[in-house]
Structure 1
Amino acid sequence: MMMKIKTFTSVSYKKCILCTFILFLSIVWYITSFVVNDELTIKFNESEKRFYVNSSKCQMVYVEPFNAEFTKVYTPKNFTRCSNQNDLVTGHFDSILKQYVLHVDEQVLHKLSQSESNDFIYKVSLSFYTAFMLSRLGNKTKFTHGYVVPLNVEGMLVECRSADEKRILQEDAFSFVQYQKPPPNSEIDRKASVIMYGIDTVSRTNLRRLMPMVFEFLKSPGWYEMMGYNKVADNSYPNIFPILTGYSPSSAENQICDTSQPGCLDEIPFIWKEMKKNGYLTAYAEDTLIINTFNYVKPGFLSRPTDYYFRPVLDALEKKTNKHYYPGCKMAYCLGRRLANSYIFDYCRQFMQRFVADRPIWGMFWSNHISHDDFSMLSAMQHKIVGDLLNFEKDGSFEHTIMIFFSDHGSRFGPLMRTKESFLEARQPIMFIYSPPWFREKYPQYVEALAQNQNRLSSNFDVYNTLKHIINIEGLVEDTKWAYDCPQCQSLFYPLPESRSCSEAAIPEAYCTCHNYEEVQEDHGTWRMAELVVDRINQYLQYNNLQNLCSSLTLRVINITEVRMLESDEYVGLGKGLRHYHTKFQVHQNLAEFFATVLYDRRTEELHINVELINRINIYRADAECVDDGTQKLFCICLSKLRNNESTPTIQ
């Protein structure tokens, strides 16, 4: 038999599952959960409501995770392995050579080929790629056990075949964070490294529900949960963009350039540029190619944005490996033999292992596929995520690193949008910040402020300011530019105002979870208000010249209407009869469902609304294939996609 191995992306380390640690954590969580639940019950009985934030301008209500509405729509998911085979080829970083070395496990080889002759020819061929935007496979190279990976190789695809080349024994993929020497005197002024580990579509309530082991880990010393954290926009891009730039996308377009045009994203002042100027080594990685934050209906970067950039590796992974999908999900669950998310974790772990003890680093590692398509997938992934965190701890990375464990938003469509707490679910993503022991000792005042801010209203712009503060932690730069779109925002290392409003944190009313809304009964006024909102959507489509592509919408049913209670004198200046309302409704066209926050006068029918802040709350990907703009997709039912809808209205 003859063996070949053909390459293509990311060094695949033998996974350290840390079963003992996870079992211990499971037992701890199981035991302590009874105590925690008892405490919550006592507090809940003391008053009718509990709050994450409770001030004169913000009352952010706590949601009981396992309420009756949730249990009706929740079905647990089980973790599924991508492969039951042992690794035929593995790699490790040689600390003396400062290079990666590949190994062939002959025992695994014999096991995989046991039905064949024992007369083997051990040959491995590798294809390298080093291109920036897309993968470029290089010449095949044979190797034997102990092969030293060249420094210019970012990843490879390995393929092992029988001698007659008729049978593939195993394929695998590897990526490499190649070593760079630290600059001289990099440790003279110690700076904290920053790692941002993010998961798309995770609310703080869903973390408590579906990842209790992860939640328990995040209660460890040094971790602080921003329980008053509130998103500032609808979907991923406009929530991540402010964290990384201090701008909203619309302000960046007005002040810098149009991000829909090629080359603009390269001009945006992303935080990694500031990090780079201040001696940080930088990295950025995502695990999905198509809905990648800066490439979904965007042109992406024309130049490599960070020192280490995962997209070329990902391009090769998605094109050259076999994809497997979890039932009900449209994003790849497995790429080759490995979970799509595992490549991100391996890349992040390598980045920290290579550099975090020697020099300051910044990296963002973002996973889309875990829960974007199905909120309940979090339950299948909790052992994987807690294993990641335990591995970082085992490596000693937390000794050097400020880690931000976060999300962009909660569920925006699907079953949870039919619950009473859907408004809160979509708008309250997780935000946990870890400070290492040396940082806590050196800057106790900043850590004290971080602890105090846990129950105060905060937003994406505060996180951006915190990143800027870390760069200038000693205050040596006097002209630091803070978040452009929130002059009143500040670093989370300073105490936030106890009485802070959403407007002061640059959170639009459409996304603000501080205010008390109560349901009103449907009548002519509520129907008319929803009709006017639908009219505004149709005007928006016409204004953007989409009437020949997208259908006009007509109101079918109102699911719920809520009015904002007047907790303060905030409305005195409005005059007239204007009040804020929530309206959730469905249109006839493809039964599309929307949620809008409006300022409306029931008597005069005066209505104020920003159409682009209206949320589409059911899956719309197939409906809107005829338009490219991400915002316009929310409101477009392509004429070519119109269906006959004979079912009864969806009452929520």
Structure 2
Amino acid sequence: MARLVSSKFKRLFLCFLVVSLICLWSKIRSTPDDKYNISFRQTPGKKKLFYVKSEKCELPYVDPFNAEFMKINNPKIFIPCTNESDLITVHYDNIFHQYVLHINEEVLHKLSQSKSNDFACFYQKIIYGQSADRYDRKGNKTKLTQDYLVPLDVEGMLVDCRTADERLLLQQDAFMFIQYEGTPKNLSPDRKASVIMYGIDTVSRTNLRRMMPMIYEYLKSPGWYEMMGYNKVADNSFPNIFAMLTGYSPETAETQVCNTDRDGCLDKIPFIWKEYKKDGYLTAYAEDEEISNTFNYMKPGFAVKPTDYYFRPFLTALEKETVVRYNAGSLMKYCLGRRLANSYIFDYCRQFMQRFVADRPIWGMFWSNHFSHDDFFMLSAMQHKILNDLLNFEKDGAFEHTIMIFFSDHGARFGPLMRLKESFLEERLPMMFIYLPPWFRAKYPQYVEALSLNQNRLSSNFDIYNTLKHILQIDNVVEETNWSYDCPQCQSLFYPLPENRSCSEAAIAEAYCTCHNYEEIKEEPWTWRMADLVVDRINNYLRFYNLQNQCSNLTLKVVNVTEQWMEEIDGDVKRPKGMRYYHTKFQVHQNMAEFFATVLYNKETEELKINVELISRINMYGTDSECINNKIHKLYCVCLSKLRAP
């Protein structure tokens, strides 16, 4: 009878859960962000909603599920890397302060198809090279015994289990460990907030709502604040993350510190983690894709280990020593051995918090790009996994101590979303959520009030940098603090931002500014002439850098869209008399390359002003530019050796 009642209860619970999810999905799709103060302007026949609305900035709300998007919607299903159970599991022994490897005998018998325990498991330590960024070699084979205590000098290992005669491979695996360090005796008794930055590449504010609605609902929980006026300051990952972590643009860093393309430069850059380390924090940094790693893609990487815990040497070992699997249509590595590439990053982050966050302040950034960079629909497949990550942090009690920044660098920059009317907004408005723990909210109500107010005000990467600086000095902000170099007028998000703030005041170039009202205009001869002049500037740029013998001369094929900034008066934006701002989206004949440019243009005199390096490439170019190593030049180069027939 008890079993029948239990079974009936389970069925009722499942029915309730399904109905709840359906209702939740319906609510998400049918209503705008009702938690937040979204302004609206009445226009004939409809209401126009805004995330930010002031005299200098009108940042529009986009309906995530509008009809245009629904025509291309193609959600994906999660694909696990393996259906096998784990032969070896890991837990942490709080008495010995060591990790323990347990061999699951039931799994062993299933894999070996035998009830005997006639098998052997060995591990090899992952050893880094002399350079901080390189995996050097595997250590000697060491036999694993049941409930094996992992030595404290082992931070990563590759495991191989076989039958005793070695004829049958049972399972191969890999494990990374945040090894414990005792709490320093001279640690300040004053409570400091830990800071964890958990980021996912290529997630716009709108696309989070589309592809990960359950996570979006979770992020409405108490303590979370969404920066709905957050606007990127550069094109791709490196300059946006660099601004957030240093307060510099790469161009300014070159004049003030060093050229980030040169060997040894990144070790000299004043990254924010250096200041946290100097203030007694333990620091960590991890990413999940070796080639496209933020500081290694077309960059020299680090010669010196940048943080206390640094994942890259282990990542290079995983990519070299395990079976790698890709998803269809993606150049990113999806599975490394038995696990998602992202799973290693999450586990590393979770261990880092589990080991230290209750005892001492920590700072860490954990960045994932393998599943989202090449296919934004993959976000839908990963939403349960990422939601589970956040719930596990909460279960561990990490949120009791930690300010968490859950963020992205930019939205989609190529692919089907670039053909939507809202593509300009999609690319430039990444998600940005900040969580404040209960004790922080109780102790600093004035900072909480400011952060809440700033949700609907224009902000940028440089404000995030200042906020990270502010956390370090939360009880004693000094006047001589070096805030973001490239935006002297930017400030911490714990202070109220100006309500009537412009893009230039937040160090956001017009090419990336989402505040202004551009409207599509009909095709006219001058719109073609303007686009043709932009193509000519790209060709001049390639010639200036002596790339004409490697890169094809580009010729205009079609103008897809032309938009005009409708305001006659530009406020604080200075422009020459007779010139106006325009957006032009166009395609060239060479390999059908597509571009998006923001230009100043006088259609009467044909005077044109443009920074070529702010022109966006909006379709995937794959190997089209593999003859070029410079990350920026690649955007505009179609290699002569890669030209395809029209």
TM class, shorter-chain normalised? Answer: over 0.9
C-alpha displacement of 1:354:
0.2
For 1:268-279, list aligned pairs within 5 A. Answer: 268-279=269-280
SS at match of 2:108: helix
Which deviates further from its counterpart, 423-432 or 134-143? 134-143
Aligned to 2:482: 481
2:628 partner amino acid = V
Per-residue CA deviation, residues 169-191 of structure 1 (Å, 9 max, x unaligned), is 11111000000011124351111
Per-residue CA deviation, residues 100-130 of structure 1 (Å, 9 max, x unaligned), is 111111111011111x5x5543422211023
CA distance in 2, matches of 1:188, 1:342: 34
Aligned to 1:98: 97
C-alpha displacement of 1:307:
0.1
CA distance in 2, matches of 1:404, 1:267: 25
C-alpha displacement of 1:332:
1.2
C-alpha displacement of 1:328:
1.5
1:548 aligns with 2:549: yes
Q: Percent identity?
A: 68
CA distance in 2, matches of 1:352, 1:186: 18
2:89 partner amino acid = T
Aligned to 2:4: none
Structure 1 unmatched ranges of 5 or more: 1-19, 646-652
C-alpha displacement of 1:25:
8.4
Aligned to 1:616: 617
Aligned to 1:648: none
For 1:287-298, list aligned pairs within 5 A. Answer: 287-298=288-299
Aligned to 2:127: 130
Q: Assess, with a 3 A threshold, how the Cα gap between structure 1 residues 506 and 415 changes in structure 2: closer, same or farther.
A: same
Contact 1:120 1:163 in 2 (8 A): no
Aligned to 2:177: 176
Q: Assess, with a 3 A threshold, how the Cα gap between structure 1 residues 86 and 209 changes in structure 2: closer, same or farther.
A: same
Aligned to 1:368: 369
CA distance in 1, matches of 2:379, 2:239: 23
C-alpha displacement of 1:574:
3.2
Aligned to 1:11: none
1:96 partner amino acid = I
CA distance in 1, matches of 2:311, 2:628: 28
CA distance in 2, matches of 1:504, 1:173: 48
CA distance in 2, matches of 1:408, 1:224: 17
Which deviates further from its counterpart, 57-66 or 157-166? 157-166
1:48 aligns with 2:47: yes
For 1:225-236, list aligned pairs within 5 A. Answer: 225-236=226-237
Alignment length (residue pairs): 624
Aligned to 1:237: 238
For 1:304-453, list aligned pairs within 5 A. Answer: 304-453=305-454
CA distance in 2, matches of 1:472, 1:384: 35
For 1:529-544, list aligned pairs within 5 A. Answer: 529-544=530-545
C-alpha displacement of 1:38:
5.5
Aligned to 1:4: none
Q: Assess, with a 3 A threshold, how the Cα gap between structure 1 residues 25 and 514 changes in structure 2: closer, same or farther.
A: farther
Contact 2:119 2:161 in 1 (8 A): no
Aligned to 1:121: 118
Per-residue CA deviation, residues 315-342 of structure 1 (Å, 9 max, x unaligned), is 1110011111222211111111111101
CA distance in 1, matches of 2:216, 2:374: 22
Aligned to 2:64: 65
Aligned to 1:198: 199
1:511 aligns with 2:547: no
Aligned to 1:557: 558
Per-residue CA deviation, residues 508-527 of structure 1 (Å, 9 max, x unaligned), is 00000000001111111111
2:141 partner amino acid = K
Contact 1:186 1:358 in 2 (8 A): no
1:402 partner amino acid = I
CA distance in 1, matches of 2:572, 2:342: 47
Contact 2:502 2:572 in 1 (8 A): no
C-alpha displacement of 1:139:
0.7
CA distance in 2, matches of 1:38, 1:624: 43
SS at match of 2:455: helix
1:636 aligns with 2:637: yes
Q: Assess, with a 3 A threshold, how the Cα gap between structure 1 residues 501 and 24 changes in structure 2: closer, same or farther.
A: farther
SS at match of 1:570: coil
Q: Assess, with a 3 A threshold, how the Cα gap between structure 1 residues 110 and 361 changes in structure 2: closer, same or farther.
A: same
Per-residue CA deviation, residues 210-229 of structure 1 (Å, 9 max, x unaligned), is 10000000000000000000
CA distance in 1, matches of 2:186, 2:214: 40
Q: TM-score, normalising length from structure 2?
A: 0.94
C-alpha displacement of 1:27:
6.1
Q: CA RMSD in A?
A: 2.0
Per-residue CA deviation, residues 382-441 of structure 1 (Å, 9 max, x unaligned), is 000000000000000000000000000000000000110000000000000000000000
Aligned to 1:31: 23
Aligned to 2:600: 599
CA distance in 2, matches of 1:608, 1:84: 57
Aligned to 1:464: 465
C-alpha displacement of 1:551:
0.4
Contact 1:22 1:387 in 2 (8 A): no
CA distance in 2, matches of 1:362, 1:493: 18
Aligned to 2:6: none
SS at match of 2:571: helix
1:323 partner amino acid = V
SS at match of 1:124: strand
For 1:142-181, list aligned pairs within 5 A. Answer: 142-181=143-182
Q: Assess, with a 3 A threshold, how the Cα gap between structure 1 residues 215 and 40 changes in structure 2: closer, same or farther.
A: closer
CA distance in 2, matches of 1:584, 1:298: 29
CA distance in 2, matches of 1:421, 1:607: 25
Which deviates further from its counterpart, 358-367 or 22-31? 22-31
2:571 partner amino acid = E
Contact 2:109 2:117 in 1 (8 A): no
Aligned to 2:219: 218
2:408 partner amino acid = S
Contact 1:558 1:583 in 2 (8 A): yes
Aligned to 1:9: none
SS at match of 2:138: coil
C-alpha displacement of 1:569:
4.8
For 1:73-112, list aligned pairs within 5 A. Answer: 73-112=72-111
SS at match of 2:140: coil
Contact 1:128 1:156 in 2 (8 A): yes
Q: Assess, with a 3 A threshold, how the Cα gap between structure 1 residues 273 and 637 changes in structure 2: closer, same or farther.
A: same
Q: Assess, with a 3 A threshold, how the Cα gap between structure 1 residues 209 and 186 changes in structure 2: closer, same or farther.
A: same
1:128 partner amino acid = K
2:462 partner amino acid = F
Contact 2:32 2:63 in 1 (8 A): no
Contact 2:28 2:213 in 1 (8 A): no
Q: Assess, with a 3 A threshold, how the Cα gap between structure 1 residues 557 and 571 changes in structure 2: closer, same or farther.
A: farther
C-alpha displacement of 1:575:
4.5
CA distance in 1, matches of 2:139, 2:536: 56
Aligned to 1:491: 492
Q: Assess, with a 3 A threshold, how the Cα gap between structure 1 residues 262 and 633 changes in structure 2: closer, same or farther.
A: same
C-alpha displacement of 1:166:
2.4
SS at match of 1:170: strand
Contact 1:187 1:358 in 2 (8 A): no
C-alpha displacement of 1:28:
5.2
SS at match of 1:139: strand
1:92 partner amino acid = H
CA distance in 2, matches of 1:68, 1:296: 37
Per-residue CA deviation, residues 449-508 of structure 1 (Å, 9 max, x unaligned), is 000000000000000000000001012544210000001100000000000000000000
C-alpha displacement of 1:370:
1.9
1:133 partner amino acid = D
1:31 partner amino acid = C
